[in-house]
Structure formats: C-alpha cells, structure tokens
Structure 1
Amino acid sequence: MDKLKLYGFNNLTKALSFNIYDVCYAKTAREQRDYIAYIDSQYNSERLTKILTDLTDMIGAKVLNIAKQDYEPQGASVAILIAEGSMTPAGRTQLAHLDKSHVTVHTYPEYHPETCLATFRVDIDVATCGEITPLSTLDYLISSFDSDIITMDYRVRGFTRDVNGKKLFLDHTITSIQDYIAQETLNRYDTVDINVYDSNIFHTKMMIKEIDLQNYLFKTDVYELPPKVRLEIMNNLRREMIEIFSGRNIYSN
C-alpha cells in the first residue's frame, strides 16, 4: 500500500478497543475455582506482556515503558507506552506527528454458581497517532485468545493535511472493521456491524457459530454425560453467549 503524502502536523488518533469473552461450563464450586485458577495462570501478566510486545512489533512501534501487575484473587493488567516516530526533516519543512501512544490489556475471570458458567473477559485498548493503524493486528489478537464473543470499537479523531493543505479526517480506507479480519476467521463467527461513518466510528461484534461441547467442559468428558444433560449445557452456553453478544438480558431476569 502506498503511503499517503502528508504535510505539517499530523494529529490523527486511532483508537481500537477490543473485548474478548471465553465461556466455560464448570458445574461444581471446585471446578469453578480450578477454571479461574487455570485461566489466571494461562493469561498472567507475563504472557499478556508477550502478546502486547508482539503487537507493538507488528505495527512498527517502539516500546518505551512496560507496567504490569497480577492481582489477587485473579486478573492481570499490562500497560505499554510506545513511540511511533519523531520530527522528520524534509527540506526546509519539519514533518511531525504525536509520537507517544499506548497499548493496555486487562483480564476479568469470573464465575456464577447458579448457572455453573465461568466467563473470562479480556479488554485490550490500542491508541496510535499518525500513520499507524492498529487494525492490522486483529487476526493476531483473535488467535491469541479463546474467543467466543468479540466486540471491537475503532475510532479515528483529529485531522492531518495533504501536501496541498486539504484537511484529512481519515488517512486510510475503511468501510468496516471486518475488512481487516481474514475471511477464514470471519467464517467461524456470526458478525454484526454498527458504524457511524460521518464520525469515523466503527463497531463490530462477533459470536462463534459452532459449539464443540467438549471444548467448554472443564475436567469433564462429554461422553460421561447423558444426552439430556448435554443438551441442557449446550442451551445454557448458547444463551449466555447470545446475551453477551446482544448486550442485554434476553433469557434471565
């Protein structure tokens, strides 16, 4: 892709908010606690830092500072300050843009005893300035987590100018966040867009289509369960996913 020629101060800010939900069936209190402990160990601050530093490399930014923290009883956070560029001489003109941006991630493992369901949520925020867009990292982020439901918000603020002085409020082509996700990935999900083009606001949410029950049972073999119980668990999992995907209580009070 050819780079757009810009002039002067580039203060375009591109913000990607990425929320992931992983749902699991854990019947007993012990299974629920074990699931939370398992998730907490799999997605601790060390691994999250690795994911975010890989993401930073992918967008061509430089890590300036890393702050990370694991929490009790569960959860972790990582915040990375990144730099994208600096003042660049071009003849008698100084081309510049804001070069400090950030990437953050937070995890929220939780369970509900009455439904026997446990949910793991990951919130990732990427804010970049100038020419870099974080949308190119979406496939990597989706594949880095077990993603049953995904909600993404992307917004571009500010403006820059082309070499003729014309204001540009968007410096790359986008009609949907889906444009930046591989078709192979999209085929696995039901996907909905809600976009406000006049404000450069893009929202996409995704829910997994097929449920392989064994992947949602924690320390339980699916063939040990009677067919009626399997169906009940499948219904509970799907209802939980639909409510999270829809953002409203459809089945529960």
Structure 2
Amino acid sequence: MENKLRLYGFNNLTKSLSFNIYDVCYAKTERAQKDYVAYIGEQYNSERLTNILFHLTEMIGATVLNVSKQDYEPQGASVTFLIAEPSQLSQTSGETVVAHLDKSHVTVHTYPEYHPDNAIATFRVDIDVTTCGAITPLSTLDYLIGSFDSDIITMDYRVRGFTRNIDGKKLFIDHTITSIQDYINSETLEKYDTIDINMYQANIFHTKMLIKEIDLQNYLFNADVYELPPKTRLQINSLLRKEMIEIFSAMNVY
C-alpha cells in the first residue's frame, strides 16, 4: 500500500477477512475438561479480546467509534468494534464496551468445547474484519496468529464493489494479491502445512493451515508428559492429530 492509487471520488471497495483458529488440547477427566474450559474463559475473556482488537485497529490505521463486549455463561465471549478511517469519538459505558467504524467493523467470538468421548478439548476463535476504502486487514495476520495458540487456521478474504481511477476506469481491487500467504511471515508459514483455494476472477482467496509439529507437553492440561507411559503418549498424540486433520479437512476422516 506504499504506492497509493489516485482515485476519482470515494473508494467504495469492501474488504472482508474471516479468520478462524482452533486450539486443541487433551483433558482426560471430566474435571480436567471443565477446568480447561474455565481456563480458556479466563485467558480469553472479553477484556483481553477487546485489547487484541484495539491493537488490530491501530495496525490498520482505523479509529474505534464504538465497542460492545460480552462474556457468556458457562463459556465464551464476544466483542464487536465499529471503526472509521478518520479520527472519531470512542466511548464506553459501564461494563459494556462498543466500538463502531462508520465504514467498517471488527468482531471476535470464542467457542470452547470438548469431545464427549475421547478427552479432546477444542477452543475456537472467529474474527471478522470488514473495511471500506483503502484500509485492508491483511497486514494484521501475523499479529492474530501470534495472539492465540493456533493449531489450525482458516482464512477467507474477499474484495467487493469497485472504485474509479482519475480517468474513470473501474478498479475492482486496489492492491496486489495472489494468496493470503503473501501477507504472512515466512517464519510463521514454515510451522504449518498450508493450502490455498483461490478464485482470482472473483477476488476470493482462501487459505488454511495445519501445525506441523506437536510437542505433546503443550497439549496436556494439568498433566506431565513424563508421567505417562510411551504407549499412552502415542495414543494421545494420535487422538490430537486425528482431531486436527478432521478440522483442517472440514470432514469426518476417521
């Protein structure tokens, strides 16, 4: 975006980024599963999510107009920002925070849950960023990936509408992109198996990523890997990988 296009009138291109991450964990007992959900609720409550979105809006050069946040019982949280390109008034009220962009918005929702049979717990985060005009949310991807423990990531990016250059020619996209991967740091990409499904003629881009290496200790909740016999470690590793592959593939494989 360093070389800005000279446009005629208002840039009404709409850019939408949908970013979904999944964090997978092994929690053997019912108590461990409930403790895991409680831990996620504490670590990723609406206050922390709000702070993440504030930083995200700073990164794309937007101004927060209104923020709405909510924690849920027994689990989960939601935050919505309304944002704008020019400097605007932001406000909070009581325990509720609402952020508005006159042209754009950002939302985040969390969904912790656990499998009823195999002791696998999954934490899902959905973030949607919609902007109009010159702002693009793609520059925030490394920050978003690093803000969560991301085992599986799915990203969808679409540009709609059009604008005109000073000669009146319609422009249906105002920046260069061949893949969402173009906007992710190479060191981050090396940690994942990644595939694309892109429709260039429609300005629709889809990328999904699956973590390559599993350090089992990082996936055990309230347990020590060295207290487990080798066979049990292999079984847990297999359960984790199966869960990840099915989420990554978006189908029941096993």
* TM range, smaller chain: over 0.9
Distance in 2 separating the partners of 1:183 and 1:138: 12
Determine if contact 2:82/2:102 at 8 Å carries over to the other structure.
no
Shift of 1:231: 0.2
- Tell me if 1:65 matches 2:69: no
Determine if contact 1:29/1:113 at 8 Å carries over to the other structure.
no
- Tell me if 1:105 matches 2:99: no
- Tell me if 1:130 matches 2:133: yes
Determine if contact 1:22/1:149 at 8 Å carries over to the other structure.
yes
Query: Which among 203, 216, 220 is matched to residue 219 of structure 2?
Result: 216
Indicate the SS of the match to 1:9.
Answer: coil
Distance in 1 separating the partners of 2:10 and 2:60: 21
What residue is the counterpart of 1:28 in the other structure? 29
- Tell me if 1:236 matches 2:239: yes
Q: For residues 79-107 of structure 1, give each alpha carbon's deviation from its aligned partner in whole angstroms, at most 9, with x where no partner exists.
A: 00000149xxxxxxxxxxx9521000000
Distance in 1 separating the partners of 2:231 and 2:242: 17
What residue is the counterpart of 2:96 in the other structure? none
Trace 1:1-253 onto structure 2 (pairs within 5 A): 1-85=2-86, 99-251=102-254
Q: Structure 1 unaligned segments of length 5 or more: list them.
A: 87-97
Indicate the SS of the match to 1:114.
Answer: coil
Tell me which amino acid in the other structure corresponds to 1:84.
E
Indicate the SS of the match to 1:55.
Answer: helix
Tell me which amino acid in the other structure corresponds to 1:11.
N
Shift of 1:113: 2.7
Indicate the SS of the match to 2:118.
Answer: coil
Tell me which amino acid in the other structure corresponds to 2:18.
S
Identity %: 79
Shift of 1:203: 0.1
Tell me which amino acid in the other structure corresponds to 2:179.
S
Tell me which amino acid in the other structure corresponds to 2:253.
I
Indicate the SS of the match to 2:36.
Answer: helix
Tell me which amino acid in the other structure corresponds to 1:22.
D
Distance in 2 separating the partners of 1:110 and 1:99: 35
What residue is the counterpart of 2:97 in the other structure? none
Distance in 2 separating the partners of 1:146 and 1:112: 19
RMSD: 1.0
Distance in 2 separating the partners of 1:216 and 1:14: 35
Aligned residues: 240
Distance in 2 separating the partners of 1:175 and 1:250: 30
| TM-score in terms of structure 1 length | 0.93
| TM-score in terms of structure 2 length | 0.93
Shift of 1:45: 0.1
